[in-house]
Structure 1
């Protein structure tokens, strides 16, 4: 859940609806078919049009709320039997939510054949311990975006990118903006063959020499040219204000950049010498929550039909791809070969990457690694020493 710790919004309140209306959505009543999401403004506009179409086509009346700090709201609401019937998040929370008992197994309710409808990776991502906990609608990861008015041809390697960053760095400008969190930096932390946590073998690799090498690369060849502030907002701002030619971020920010008038290009992540970027990747899905267990049959049917409609409607999937570079996982669209340049670039970075571990053990990895990044990038700490300290803390928490 902490892969994007400050991705969208701040604060802990439900946004986008009047307070009086929102309070009803926290009720444990089985009659409120409420969906939660944390889409950006640009994504929300498209989503609202999709939801309106669904309600009109099906005679259902689903409501949705844009929720800031979605993680904290869900952690509070769902265990108490409150909150949404369905929500948007990447697949990596499925193991934790399974153990917490806050998801609804729709194995006997879903009306689509998951294996043939979606890509193999997406079909696998929405299942856990033999249960189906939602349906997938897109893949995601971070990649390189560049200002076409500043960079004619995007770099294919880190040395090529460094050359361009050096041209712009200084006098209030920077070479790049990249949020200094584990998720955004995972491509290069794992860029020399290391893996932060291997779910299949249950092996922690945070303190492996290869991961140490990746952090050294980030420190010496990337963060040297970025704002000293590691926060997301500062790093996105230098790109938005055209004070940096590059930014590393995900498709959720592309529409917003273009709405601000930026001439943005999307490219695969540049390769380090002797390595290969290996970003953590996610499958975005509509989760079905345990509130459906006691919901009225009409409500349960509406929420499940929504998940089916949203994830299998070709127009929805193609619109999301064209407007927001959401990487399709619907097989008939994936196989069409008409994804467009933006989605193609993101797809290449996804192909380089590895799925975020969905095991609850991964929850213990995010914060210690983040602490190591804060010290190494924020105050010139030693990469090996800090990653060894992080690994020790993770192993201790597992015990």
Structure 2
């Protein structure tokens, strides 16, 4: 399954499928150009803290005094979320001199890649952040950092970082997704803070002869294993490093070996998504590691569950990949004018509106990325658990080179799960990736 699909499962409303966002972003530069930028394979600035360093003052006041504009906004939502989006657009239009026309797009990637080069694309579109490198390289999106009146300090660090690529702010964030620890309250009174504590419960519950397991975690997928690959200083790919590819590095191998030693013995014997997810959903496992798209299944099954950030391994720190949904600044915004101003006005209003963010959290389980709401007691309990996990994480790489990393690592993880030598499997994957890059 591609990362494109993984990144937007929550939007598409797909239940029981794969989920799915390291040093791929730079701090926004002074005076960003409105035009297209160099490609994603270039060198990035240091990741920084996503604050924007005070460069976000922009030209909001000029948009208030300028002419009214009309902009097109594309999104891909399940049918159940379309009425709320329509109401949101109406709310903006009723209270602004600008007009935003929304359109639900069934195949966003196909539509944007055909319409934008032909000059028929929207001013903005909503999608996960891992398109950034490819789309910036092809001139489909533009930097607008010097035009914004919103400070990047408004957002969590991970969300602010995901909004920037090659020192350009290419969109603004409004929601996140990642994997977290799901625990069955029938077996666990409260979430364990360490893997050692987690193992005590897994040992008590695990009884595969009676179809009982310590945990279920889709193993044959690098996204779900990312927290542990990163836990001891490792990484799959990081364009800010001197050595971009980290798949075969000892720190990465250590993280995967940790999962082989501490998780695999307590899991169903098939690493694929469905058997792993089903074990917990049927009430036959103490723990699961999964994402917010999984909750609808658990609610249908009537599991009494809780959500918490991932427990810490001794001497390590789990850092799961996070996916950040952006309102991208499409190529049309680089032309400036009233329509670009309309799109910026809508985007800034949408991403900073706490009421909208809380409504989405309540109704769809959306994870806010506003700093004021992240981990807040105002969030529903389970959304709060995912929000805390997002704060542990790091954005998925948005560099196009990452597309060549997923499948070889998936093959290596499958070998590791089946008892093959972890280091050899990861080194083989690294060799294949380098060959694919060439």
Same fold (TM over 0.5): yes
Other structure's SS at 2:174 match: strand
Q: How far off is 1:305 after superposition? A: 4.4
Asked if residue 200 in structure 1 is aligned to residue 235 in structure 2, the reply is no
Q: Distance in 2 between matches of 1:174 and 1:50?
A: 41
Q: How far off is 1:344 after superposition? A: 3.9
Q: Distance in 2 between matches of 1:276 and 1:124?
A: 20
Q: How far off is 1:249 after superposition? A: 1.5
CA displacement, residues 142-165 of structure 1 (integer Å, 9 cap, x when unaligned): 110122234222222223323333
Q: How far off is 1:116 after superposition? A: 4.7
Q: Distance in 1 between matches of 2:218 and 2:332?
A: 35
Aligned residue among 228, 231, 244 for 2:269: 228
Aligned residue for 2:311? Answer: 270
Contact 2:376 2:384 (C-alpha < 8 Å) held by counterparts: no
CA displacement, residues 280-309 of structure 1 (integer Å, 9 cap, x when unaligned): 2233212243366789966x6665444333
Q: Distance in 1 between matches of 2:292 and 2:313?
A: 22
CA displacement, residues 302-359 of structure 1 (integer Å, 9 cap, x when unaligned): 6544433321221111223344554432244349764454344334333333332333
Aligned residue among 273, 279, 299 for 2:320: 279
Q: Distance in 2 between matches of 1:99 and 1:232?
A: 33
Aligned residue for 2:218? Answer: 179
Other structure's SS at 2:368 match: coil
Q: Distance in 2 between matches of 1:14 and 1:245?
A: 26
Contact 1:14 1:67 (C-alpha < 8 Å) held by counterparts: no
Aligned residue for 2:127? Answer: 89
In structure 2, the CA distance between the partners of 1:246 and 1:336, relative to structure 1 (3 Å rule), is closer
Aligned residue for 2:354? Answer: 314
Aligned residue for 1:51? Answer: 86
Q: How far off is 1:384 after superposition? A: 0.8
Stretch moving more, 269-278 or 180-189: 269-278
Q: Distance in 1 between matches of 2:211 and 2:242?
A: 45
In structure 2, the CA distance between the partners of 1:139 and 1:271, relative to structure 1 (3 Å rule), is same
| Number of aligned residue pairs | 373
Aligned residue for 2:423? Answer: 384
Asked if residue 394 in structure 1 is aligned to residue 429 in structure 2, the reply is no
Aligned residue for 1:23? Answer: none
TM-score by length of 2: 0.72
Gaps of 5+ in 2: 15-69
Other structure's SS at 2:426 match: helix
In structure 2, the CA distance between the partners of 1:202 and 1:319, relative to structure 1 (3 Å rule), is farther
Alignment of 1:107-126 (within 5 A): 107=145, 110=148, 112-126=149-163
Contact 2:375 2:384 (C-alpha < 8 Å) held by counterparts: no
Q: CA RMSD in A?
A: 3.6
Alignment of 1:41-80 (within 5 A): 45-46=80-81, 48-58=83-93, 60=99, 62-65=101-104, 67=106
In structure 2, the CA distance between the partners of 1:74 and 1:223, relative to structure 1 (3 Å rule), is farther
TM-score by length of 1: 0.78
Contact 1:140 1:327 (C-alpha < 8 Å) held by counterparts: yes
Aligned residue among 169, 189, 213 for 1:132: 169
Contact 2:73 2:102 (C-alpha < 8 Å) held by counterparts: yes
Q: Distance in 2 between matches of 1:83 and 1:231?
A: 38
Q: How far off is 1:32 after superposition? A: 9.5
Gaps of 5+ in 1: 16-30
Alignment of 1:370-381 (within 5 A): 370-377=410-417, 379-381=418-420
Contact 2:181 2:287 (C-alpha < 8 Å) held by counterparts: yes
